[in-house]
Amino acid sequence: MGIFIFLGFDEIFRIHEKINGDFSFLSENFGIFLYSWIIYYGSALVLLFIIFFKPLLSLPRPTLFRFITAGSIFVAGAIGLENITGYIIANHELPKNAIIHSPLIFSLYTIEELMEMMGVAYFIYAILQFYSYYRVTPVLAGPNY
C-alpha cells in the first residue's frame, strides 16, 4: 500500500522528474538514461522485488501470474518507454520538452502513461479476483474496528 501512496505522490508532485544525477555520460555516449530517475527507481524496483520475492511465491499461481503481468505492464511503460523516449530525444538532439514539438514523442509519452494506468488497473483486477475467489473479506485494522 505504501508503494502505491508513494507512486501517487510521485506522479502528482513529479518527484522523479526532479531527481538529477550525474549520469549524463550515459546519455552522451550511449543515448540511454537521459532521465536519470530510471537508475534510482530501477534500483529500488530490484530491491523491492528481492524483498517481496518469497511472499509473492506464496500466492496462488493465478494471482502470482496476474501480479507479475500487472507489474510488467507498469514497468514496461514507466521505465521501458521512458528510456526509449530519452534515447530518441538524445540521439535526435531534441529538447527535453520535445513532447510539445514532436508527434512521435507525444505518442510515446501517451502510450507510456496508458501502460502505467493499465498496469495499475490490472493489478486492482488481480486483487479483486483473489478476494472473490478465496472469499477474502478485507478488514480495516485499527483500535476502533
Output the pLDDT for position 57: 95
Cα separation, 113 vs 118, in Å, equals: 9
Cα separation, 140 vs 121, in Å, equals: 22
Output the pLDDT for position 118: 98
Output the pLDDT for position 65: 97
Domain spans in the chain, listed from the N-terminal domain onward: 2-133
Burial of 55 (0-12, 13-18, 19+ CB in 10 A): exposed
Cα separation, 24 vs 12, in Å, equals: 26
CB of 139 closer than 8 Å to CB of 145 = yes
The percent of residues above 90 in pLDDT, for the chain, comes to 42
Cα separation, 40 vs 58, in Å, equals: 28
What's the average model confidence in pLDDT over 37-50? 89
Given a cut of 90, whether residue 12 has pLDDT beyond it is no
For the chain, counts of helices (H) and of strands (E): 7, 0
Given a cut of 90, whether residue 52 has pLDDT beyond it is yes
Output the pLDDT for position 99: 66
CA distances to 42, 84, 118 from 1, in Å: 19, 29, 18
Q: How many CA atoms lie within 13 A of 138 on its CB side?
A: 7
Kindly state the cell numbers that stand for 31: 543515448
Q: How confident is the model at residue 26 (pLDDT cuts 50, 70, 90)?
A: low
Kindly state the cell numbers that stand for 52: 517481496
Output the pLDDT for position 7: 82
What's the average model confidence in pLDDT over 79-91? 86
Output the pLDDT for position 137: 72
Given a cut of 80, whether residue 55 has pLDDT beyond it is yes
Given a cut of 60, whether residue 145 has pLDDT beyond it is no
